[in-house]
Amino acid sequence: MMFRAPAFWSDDGLIAKALSPLSAITATITARRVACPGWVAPVPVICCGNVTVGGAGKTTLALDLARRLTRANVHILLRGYGGSSRGVHRVALDDPVSVVGDEALLLAAAAPTWTGADRAASARSAVGAGAGVLLMDDGLQNSTLAKTASILVIDGRTGFGNGRVLPAGPLREPIATAANRCRAAVIIGQDETGATAQLPPSLAILRADLVQNSSIAALHGQSVVAFAGIALPEKFFAPLRQAGATLVAARPFPDHHVYTHIELQDLLREADEQNAILVTTPKDAVRLPPSVRARVTVIGVGLKWEDDRQIDQLLAKFIGSKA
């Protein structure tokens, strides 16, 4: 079973305070790890990372940046969470999700993608294959590969939770420590928790909204059974309601959830009984068998930037600084 964040991570209450002495241990271990020098690639390395456990929108940002960096021959690096592949692996679009993980298949549709826990080893292979820019999906706390620039990705709705480091809170390391290694921050959605105020004043802050693709319009007035195995399923369900769909059921599953035959049959039966459309995310769709995927409507998501020019200028600066 995949991990679900405990409720007290959003509340600085007694449990969080009782666990706070252990947070110092986590912070110390992380600080030692990130202090280790990594391999310096001959091409720019841009990291989309976060300071919290769970989904902040790193993969969505990586997809957006990959499309902007196509002419620079960008290659994407990620661990390949949920996949069985070990060592460096170049992702093929027909790779089983069980081998490379769901996020790798989504990214491979946008640019050449490599999985592997050792980002330096993946980077060497990518450079050998002609990569002009390396884009990391996650890895802010991974020190095997030196970054030209890191972007701190923040979910506007959840922010930094209770602001404490694991296990007392959702942080992998203190906010200031992570932010000081970044050249910019991207807040996805409205800053509902005041995350901006917790960042260094010198850090460039950009904002973007999650937007569903145009196919969501066809769901207006339709009965829908929605399901999502992502870190924050409500980020998928809420826009469906806003688009005018009638959610007769919204079924959340843990992030990267591997659906069983029984679960899928239950979802199909529920949709049939409700005379509803079965809807899910692209990340979930790649985890479905073809027979089920054919019966599911997939609603993709992208970013709408508050100022589109800012992100292009930032990327140009990052790439230019390596030249």
Residue 300 has pLDDT above 70, yes or no: yes
Q: CA–CA separation, 168 vs 11, rounded Å?
A: 10
The pLDDT value recorded for residue 3 is 54
277-280 sheet: strands from edge to edge: 246-252, 223-228, 277-280, 297-298
Q: How far is CA 122 from CA 47, 58, 129, 319, 323, in A?
A: 14, 19, 11, 20, 21
What is the pLDDT at residue 55? 79
The rounded Cα 110 to chain-centroid distance in angstroms is 15
Phi, psi dihedrals of residue 94, rounded to the nearest 5°: -100, 10
* pTM strictly above 0.95: no
Q: What is the pLDDT of residues 36-56, one digit of tens each?
A: 999 999 999 999 999 999 778
> Residues 48, 136: contact at Cβ < 8 Å?
yes
In angstroms, rounded to a whole number, what is the distance separating the alpha carbons of residues 157 and 164? 17
- What domains appear along the chain, each with residue ranges and CATH number? 15-210+307-322 (3.40.50), 214-299 (3.40.50.2300)
Spatial CA neighbour of 170 closest among 160, 180, 156: 160
pLDDT of residue 2: 46
Rounded percentage of the chain residues whose pLDDT exceeds 90: 92
